Amino acid sequence: MTADLFDTVAEPTTPWVEPLEPGAMVLRQFARRYEAALMEAVRQVFEESPLRHMVTPGGFRMSVAMTNCGELGWVTDRKGYRYDAIDPETGRRWPPMPAVFSRLASEAAAQAGFDRFAPDACLVNRYVAGTRLSLHQDRDERDYTQPIVSVSLGLPAVFLFGGAKRTDKARRIPLAHGDVVVWGGPARLHHHGVLPLKEGSHPFMGDCRINLTFRKAG
Ligand code: MD6
Ligand code: FE
């Protein structure tokens, strides 16, 4: 049997759009079309640049385990947050962005009204039970006209989506395997985070949630 690179195992569900606010929406089940290829590509990225717990500038070890692929990778250490072309753990460039990653990200962005999104950075996050991400803005990128595309795989999570100010009330948005959140335009700098992951088991991913966050960083 020959399988195309972008073939899927399961019959993909027809995606639907859930608007959040101007510039932000959830594309429900949008990543299901490529789920098999995505999971295989994630596995390959982990082999080349393993997951690690980075340290914040304040000295706290992040509960999310992270790695990157693409031209640039997001890193944090005692010196601060930044994008770097070199993985500090391996001393080599981050693994190239798998074709299925760039394709999914630009298709999702286009669906959300952001044409020609060409990410140069993909942050890969792994959450296990108890892992959380506190409210923050993504503002280490150069060009805020470019959106953020965030893909959820594996265990469900509750995504927090707030406003321009950290104190703005944040909505709680349940995210399931295959859901994609896109935020840009007037929502580009809105605060967001993830509530502590609940224990569980996912048929493809086991006991974790994988999140792919695509950016045009450079
Ligand atoms: C998520 N991650 O994991 C969303 N932002 O669902 C992020 O928003 C994020 O993991 C900036 C830096 C690291 C991150
Ligand atoms: Fe973020």
Separation of alpha carbons 156 and 125, rounded Å: 14
Is the confidence at residue 10, as pLDDT, over 50? yes
Q: Angle at CA 205, nearest 5°, toward 203 and 208?
A: 120
Q: Is the CB of 74 under 6 A from ligand 1?
A: yes
For residues 209-213, average pLDDT: 98
Asked if 203 and 35 touch (Cβ cutoff 8 Å), the reply is no
Distance, C-alpha 188 to centroid of its chain: 15
Q: Is the CB of 213 under 6 A from ligand 1?
A: yes
Asked if 25 and 17 touch (Cβ cutoff 8 Å), the reply is yes
Is the confidence at residue 125, as pLDDT, over 90? yes
Over its C-alpha atoms, the chain yields an Rg (Å, rounded) of 16
β-sheet bridge partners, residue 27 = 17, 180
pLDDT interval class at 1 (50, 70, 90):
very low
And the tokens for 111?
A: 């669906």
- Between the CA of 137 and the centroid of ligand 2 the distance, in Å, is 6
Is the confidence at residue 97, as pLDDT, over 50? yes
Residue (of 178, 207, 213) closest to 194 by Cα position: 213
- Between the CA of 214 and the centroid of ligand 2 the distance, in Å, is 10
User: Which atom of ligand 1 is nearest the CA belonging to 175?
Assistant: 6
User: Which atom of ligand 1 is nearest the CA belonging to 157?
Assistant: 6
- Between the CA of 4 and the centroid of ligand 2 the distance, in Å, is 32
- Between the CA of 192 and the centroid of ligand 2 the distance, in Å, is 6
State residue 205's pLDDT score. Answer: 87
Asked if 74 and 122 touch (Cβ cutoff 8 Å), the reply is no
Q: What phi and psi values does residue 41 have, to the nearest 5 degrees?
A: -65, -40
Is the confidence at residue 91, as pLDDT, over 60? yes
Asked if 140 and 68 touch (Cβ cutoff 8 Å), the reply is no
Q: Whose CA is nearest to atom 6 of ligand 1?
A: 211
Domains parsed from the chain with CATH numbers = 18-215 (2.60.120.590)
pLDDT interval class at 136 (50, 70, 90):
very high
> DSSP class of residue 188?
T
User: Which atom of ligand 1 is nearest the CA belonging to 74?
Assistant: 12
Q: Is the CB of 170 under 6 A from ligand 1?
A: no
User: Which atom of ligand 1 is nearest the CA belonging to 66?
Assistant: 10
Is the confidence at residue 151, as pLDDT, over 70? yes
- Between the CA of 143 and the centroid of ligand 2 the distance, in Å, is 15
pLDDT interval class at 119 (50, 70, 90):
very high
For residues 46-53, average pLDDT: 98
pLDDT interval class at 8 (50, 70, 90):
low
Q: What is the pTM of this model?
A: 0.93
For residues 116-131, average pLDDT: 98
And the tokens for 143?
A: 């060009």
pLDDT interval class at 4 (50, 70, 90):
low
Entry field: residues in the chain: 218
Q: Around ion ligand 2, which residues have CB less than 5 A away?
A: 138
Ligand nearest to the CA of 195: 1
> pLDDT digits over 164-206, tens only?
999 999 999 999 999 999 999 999 999 999 999 999 999 988 9
